[in-house]
Amino acid sequence: MNARILIVCSEAVPLVKTGGLADVITSLARALRRRGLDATVMMPGYPAALDQARNLEEAGVLADLPGGPGRLLSGTMPEHDVPVLLLCTPGFARRTGNPYVDECGQEFADNAQCFGTLAHAVVAVCGGATALAPPHVVHANDWHAGLVPALLRLKRIGEIGTLFTIHNLAFQGNFPLDCAAGLGIPPAMLGPDGLEFWGRLSFLKAGIRYADCISTVSHSYAAEILTPRFGHGMDGLLNERKRDLLAIRNGVDTDTWNPAGDALIARPFSPTDMRGKSVCKRELQALFNLPPDPFAPILAVGSRITHQKMADVAQASLPTVLQRYPRAQLIVLGCGDHAYEQGFARLAQDFPGRVAAHIGYDEKRAHALHAGADMLLHGSRFEPFGLTPLYSMRYGTIPIASRVGGIIDTIADARLSGPPPQGASGILFDGEDADSMTTAVSRAFALYENPGEWHAMQRNAMSADFSWSQPAEQYAAAYRGIAAQAVKELFAVRPEAPEVDIPAYKTA
């Protein structure tokens, strides 16, 4: 028998993705399976997920869910054969675009009911209401799955260990308290030592409060979230649960983000043969209708365009940068808050032939951006891990990033003056003001002018190891820690195998 882990989440590549969480879920499941752990992803059956998942078959009808009956389909992810359970409900069927907000950026009115329903479906699987073998451990991720540990406690399903991972504390899933009854949450659980959070019902708090163990995705963020500045109001509770809080960093899917074998880029390249990068640069300029200048330093911005990602600060800083470096080009790829999106569109109008902005979500353009740019500007007011700068580093694109959260743990700072220390792989800056950002970008341009220093940084960036080996083993150890005594030995990891060698999550 293999250890069974049910990874509950709202998004997973390639089925649905709005941010780094989706990348992390699929690569974690793959990494666990390669080590002999039977990891299955359970998530909403959004239309896009149903379209792409393979081998779908009915795994059960769940009559007793808050949003009415739901169907559970089991299948596999395309490409990697990671087993997936998709919960189909009318609410999820309506989510044809972004799963959380409508076209105007307004949160869907039924988010609480939809994700509450997902949690109830997980509890039904755990309680044996379907023919599926219940998991030994449930790994719930972010607020979307926050009710799972609380409901398992409520239903007294105590033999299944629960790990709750915080990928971003800012997204909390807070709703009016009066939705509790419809979600099957009794008044006794609605006090301040339960799910109540500033007069609302918080899914995130439910996860933090009731999971056996909590984790977050970098050491620095784990320390930061215990402070009022980064705690988003949860620091008190997190301090109470500090002994159960683990830091397990994310990994990078090194197959997908691999300059030597990336089918989405114009020409492959590697640290020992960088010729392809020049071709990628030319292609990037063509893709964004910028002049094909091989000597123009290209600064990229590629992320959600939000306050968290310092879009406001970038828009205050970048005109100065563009005036100071007349040959530089700026390429923006992203979407998010409409006002900030318009700000970047205006910047492109103000600097024709030098700035291009694609407002939208586009995986192919993201690969082209990382491969063809010279630098990536990644400001963040807080950053749980920060996958995007690590992707850029894989392609020798040097990150200029805020010294917060996971960034501190992953980018070796070249510092703002003097020769870059050995091993430097990026430039970090402090503060949330335009001057600090401009100074850091100027430092990057200065280093770019010195090919010896720049190439050394590129080599460091490209060879940094952020594979899933270490985090997968740490997750396995965490699962073992919370699993019932009788099944703990199942969580001993096997040496990594290239292919899945365990049967998919099926009946017992």
Does 386 contact ligand ADP by CB under 6 A?
Answer: yes
Output the residue with the shortest Cβ distance to ligand ADP: 20
| Residue with Cβ nearer ligand ADP (351 or 361) | 361
String of b and e for 2-30 (b: at least 16 CB within 10 Å)? Answer: bbbbbbbbbbbbbbbbbbbbbbbbbbbbb
Options 50-58, 285-293, 384-392, 449-457: segment touching ligand ADP (CB under 6 A): 384-392
| Residue with Cβ nearer ligand ADP (20 or 99) | 20
Which residue from 267, 286, 361, 470 is in contact with ligand ADP, where contact means CB under 6 A? Answer: 361
Q: How far is the CB of 144 from ligand ADP (least distance, A)?
A: 14
Instruction: Please give the C-alpha separations between residue 187 and each of 184, 192, 340, in angstroms, as whole numbers.
Output: 10, 11, 41
| Residue with Cβ nearer ligand ADP (122 or 333) | 333
Closest CA to 250 of 82, 376, 138, 409: 409
Does 363 contact ligand ADP by CB under 6 A?
Answer: yes
Which residue from 12, 14, 16, 20 is in contact with ligand ADP, where contact means CB under 6 A? Answer: 20
Q: How far is the CB of 438 from ligand ADP (least distance, A)?
A: 22
Which residue from 387, 404, 447, 490 is in contact with ligand ADP, where contact means CB under 6 A? Answer: 387
| Residue with Cβ nearer ligand ADP (160 or 280) | 280
Does 15 contact ligand ADP by CB under 6 A?
Answer: no
Concatenated DSSP letters of 391-424:
HHHHTTPEEEEES-HHHHHH--B--SSSSPPTT-
Does 489 contact ligand ADP by CB under 6 A?
Answer: no
Options 111-119, 291-299, 385-393, 410-418: segment touching ligand ADP (CB under 6 A): 385-393
- The size of the chain, in residues, is 508
Does 173 contact ligand ADP by CB under 6 A?
Answer: no
Determine if the peptide bond prior to 228 is cis (ω within 30°): no
Residues 214-243 that bind ligand ADP (CB under 6 A): none
Q: How far is the CB of 169 from ligand ADP (least distance, A)?
A: 12
Distance CA 251, CA 471 (A): 7
Options 20-28, 128-136, 238-246, 266-274: segment touching ligand ADP (CB under 6 A): 20-28
Does 372 contact ligand ADP by CB under 6 A?
Answer: no
CB 437 within 8 A of CB 379: yes
Distance CA 348, CA 397 (A): 22
Options 123-131, 203-211, 360-368, 437-445: segment touching ligand ADP (CB under 6 A): 360-368
Distance CA 385, CA 27 (A): 15
Closest CA to 427 of 465, 473, 388, 461: 461
Options 63-71, 171-179, 361-369, 411-419: segment touching ligand ADP (CB under 6 A): 361-369
Q: What amino acid occupies position 227?
A: T
Does 337 contact ligand ADP by CB under 6 A?
Answer: no
Q: How far is the CB of 366 from ligand ADP (least distance, A)?
A: 4
Does 97 contact ligand ADP by CB under 6 A?
Answer: no
Which residue from 53, 82, 160, 335 is in contact with ligand ADP, where contact means CB under 6 A? Answer: 335
Which residue from 39, 82, 213, 333 is in contact with ligand ADP, where contact means CB under 6 A? Answer: 333
Distance CA 342, CA 348 (A): 10
Does 67 contact ligand ADP by CB under 6 A?
Answer: no
Contacts of 118 (CB under 8 A, 6+ apart): 8, 10, 42, 43, 44, 87, 144, 145
Options 18-26, 128-136, 190-198, 263-271: segment touching ligand ADP (CB under 6 A): 18-26
Phi, psi of 356 (to 5 degrees): -130, 140
Distance CA 268, CA 492 (A): 38
CA 63 to mean position of chain CA atoms: 32
Give the tokens for residue 179: 């939705």
Options 138-146, 386-394, 408-416, 457-465: segment touching ligand ADP (CB under 6 A): 386-394
Contacts of 464 (CB under 8 A, 6+ apart): 390, 393, 410, 412, 425
Residues 278-307 that bind ligand ADP (CB under 6 A): 303-304
Q: How far is the CB of 20 from ligand ADP (least distance, A)?
A: 3
Give the tokens for residue 83: 């087993």
Q: Under DSSP, is residue 189 helix (H, G, I), strand (E, B) or coil?
A: helix
Does 44 contact ligand ADP by CB under 6 A?
Answer: no
CA 329 to mean position of chain CA atoms: 28
| Residue with Cβ nearer ligand ADP (21 or 208) | 21
Closest CA to 238 of 471, 229, 477: 229
Residues in binding contact with ligand ADP, number by CB under 6 A: 18
Options 62-70, 84-92, 322-330, 359-367: segment touching ligand ADP (CB under 6 A): 359-367
Does 409 contact ligand ADP by CB under 6 A?
Answer: no
Residues making contact with ligand ADP (CB under 6 A)? 19-21, 23, 303-304, 333-335, 361-363, 366, 385-388, 391
